[in-house]
Amino acid sequence: MIILLIYLKKWKLISKLKVRVKDVDALILIIAYLLGSIPSAYLIGKIFAKKDITKIGSGNVGTVNTIKNIGVLPGVLTFILDAAKAIISVAIAKQFSKFELIPYFASFFVILGHNFSIFLKFKGGKGLACLVGMLLTISPITIIYLFGFIGILTLAFGKKVNAATGVGIFILPVILYYQHAPTEGVMISFLISLLVMYKNFDYIKDFLKKET
């Protein structure tokens, strides 16, 4: 959070908006990170199959790995719970903060927590379910545009879903810009895109190697 605030000051966004990030806003972001850190897939894996999801399949703590190695129902529940983490985080931000950018910051922190969970030694998922939850509360129509674009890229990439996701996620700021999101919110969505891309970076490298 400190790093983000430094950049905000550098961009003169805080002074431009004539607002100050208060203690309650900092608390909201901490709550968002902790909510994001709750490892839904890990807990469901233990409950349904007594398995450690980080040690089976891809090791990813998310929906797809859960479906493949635990079951469809546990996977669906994982998706719902992960999306709910973002929905709750953004709802808290909207309810208790007067700073219009806090919902975007809360989205960043909940996905950060999901991807790098403090409860799993900073292992985690890829953030897509949380991203869906975020967009449901901030810009629902963006879900259709974003995943439609990723779907097209998936076909273009020879059904390499993870590589297509890692590249396609960068259209998110563009979509939000044309949905008239605050300019600063668009910038934060770019940081969110980086989080998702980072988790898919190895797949992008593998795809590029095979293409060369």
Q: Count CB neighbours of 64 within 10 A.
A: 20
pLDDT digits (tens, 9 = 90+) for 160-177: 888 888 888 999 999 999
pLDDT value at residue 22: 67
Cα 200 from Cα 166, distance rounded (Å) = 5
pLDDT exceeds cutoff 50 at 4: no
Considering the entire predicted model, what is its pTM?
A: 0.85
User: What's the average model confidence in pLDDT over 3-11?
Assistant: 44
Average predicted confidence (pLDDT) for the chain: 88
Confidence category of residue 33, pLDDT binned at 50, 70, 90:
very high
